[in-house]
Structure 1
């Protein structure tokens, strides 16, 4: 274990359950990361570019970056980078199980329509840094109550970060209401039809717009083509089903609009870089209902 890194290991699986990591440079983020746990990265000093999935996002100091299970990301930064990272496995803290207390899924994580970069004020960044410092202190105090204390601090961190992002989102939505109505129609169409319509052309016909115009609109406002938007939405739902249920892969594939289980597996592996079964094996499944 590094001097600036503290870990809690699951005694049953021997896998990482929880981790706090302080960083003073970008060295640990230069290579593409894909973790079987959630990650929250607070940048308090430095600026650069985040590469998440296939999109790029600029960030400056006082930024919060959030990544879901096996979401690929890396950071380009030429200057100094300082902050703190929190990692937690879903077996340690299940977002679904605690959804009524911490409504961060679809806000901080698994949010395909918004940037994973949350700009913070200096006061907001300091507040989140203080909570993370509390997690750092607690993880260095082993004992029977340690997991509960860590979970309590983690809840506070996620609740506060979610509040900040929801406030930002509400302001953006106010601006969107003055913009093209097609954006809201586009999001509604994806949410309603992603299990049955898998091509940008299908949505172009549905929304009475050309495929090229639809892709330009999606790229401008969501930083990804419409085809990538559809793919991301299918993958988010596939991950949810793999984790939260014990359904057979064949059934999950069918419910997501794939007639061939093997085609679904290839689709998943192409976009997540691991098989659906490996995702289930390393993340766990049906834990929320156990």
Structure 2
């Protein structure tokens, strides 16, 4: 990675990355599987290709925003030119949960297993986000009074504007395309209500009185994920939230998520996140005061 294209802030206590802005001109940094212990906001200014996030693949073009969560495995492959800028922030630098009343991006930009991590932008929207990122770069290039406060303020503006864009597109969804089947909302509601106790695809097909094959097909078409992947992702999102926001023992988190065996839960978590629950907690921190 070219150092001239990287501006970063390191936590002086842990010596780990707190905040970074990385300008890229090709996909060499993204064409291998990445798993960051921080949130990523990628603004694609030129190029097109695919992003593999978790187990699903999504297309992107120029003027796109790609948002990825803590330790969410992803890989980007471009078709020719690929240019843009990436912003990374650690939850110790900016905790989405702590600032949820100011920045309602958790569940919109991040930690939403029902929607694509890719948001298509207009030219004006791209310029709006890029302007804020350039302000972040300028602030990182100087040592000044209240630098952290200024960086956090600009980051909030970036996340708020990105969330507004995505939520605005949700509001327009369905105006020119057929509405998705009603069963999708029933499925989302069922998963949100029962994911801690019902872990199999068959559980939800019985609950919704539809065959597993039919429900899985609908899930694959509209969410780009199998039904099992949808359920698993929801469990993992909650496990991550509990691990970095609370001081609960791993055993208790496992129990609350419907696992009677702590070691089985740890294997389940590691198989999908590639690290153990304890290592996840150790590397992203946790906030007892906001549990």
Tell me the TM-score normalised to structure 1 length. Answer: 0.97
- Give a deviation string over 1:104-154, Cα, whole Å, max 9, x none: 000000010000000000110011011101101100012341111110100
Residue pairs, 1:240-251, within 5 angstroms: 240-251=241-252
1:216 aligns to what? 217
Worse overlay, 135-144 or 3-12: 135-144
2:166 aligns to what? 165
2:100 aligns to what? 99
Question: Aligned partners of 1:252, 1:84: CA distance in 2, in Å?
Answer: 36
1:59 aligns to what? 60
Whether 1:226 and 2:249 are equivalent positions in the alignment is no
Query: Displacement, 1:286?
Result: 2.0
Unaligned runs of 5+ in 2: none
Q: 1:60 to 1:177 in 2, by over 3 A?
A: closer
1:235 aligns to what? 236
Whether 1:279 and 2:280 are equivalent positions in the alignment is yes
- Give a deviation string over 1:169-212, Cα, whole Å, max 9, x none: 22226679943211110100000000010000010001111111
RMSD, aligned CA: 1.4
- Give the 3-state SS of the residue equivalent to 2:279 in structure 1: helix
Unaligned runs of 5+ in 1: none
Q: Is the 8 A contact 1:97 1:288 kept in 2?
A: no
Question: Aligned partners of 2:275, 2:174: CA distance in 1, in Å?
Answer: 35
Q: Is the 8 A contact 2:46 2:83 kept in 1?
A: yes
Worse overlay, 176-185 or 69-78: 176-185
Q: 1:110 to 1:200 in 2, by over 3 A?
A: same
Q: Is the 8 A contact 1:91 1:287 kept in 2?
A: no
1:42 aligns to what? 43
Q: Is the 8 A contact 1:243 1:287 kept in 2?
A: no
- Give the 3-state SS of the residue equivalent to 1:66 in structure 2: strand
Q: Give the aligned length.
A: 290
- Give the 3-state SS of the residue equivalent to 1:233 in structure 2: helix
Question: Aligned partners of 2:182, 2:6: CA distance in 1, in Å?
Answer: 47
Tell me the TM-score normalised to structure 2 length. Answer: 0.97
- Give the 3-state SS of the residue equivalent to 1:46 in structure 2: strand
Q: Which runs of 4+ in 1 moved over 4 A?
A: 173-177
Query: Displacement, 1:289?
Result: 2.8
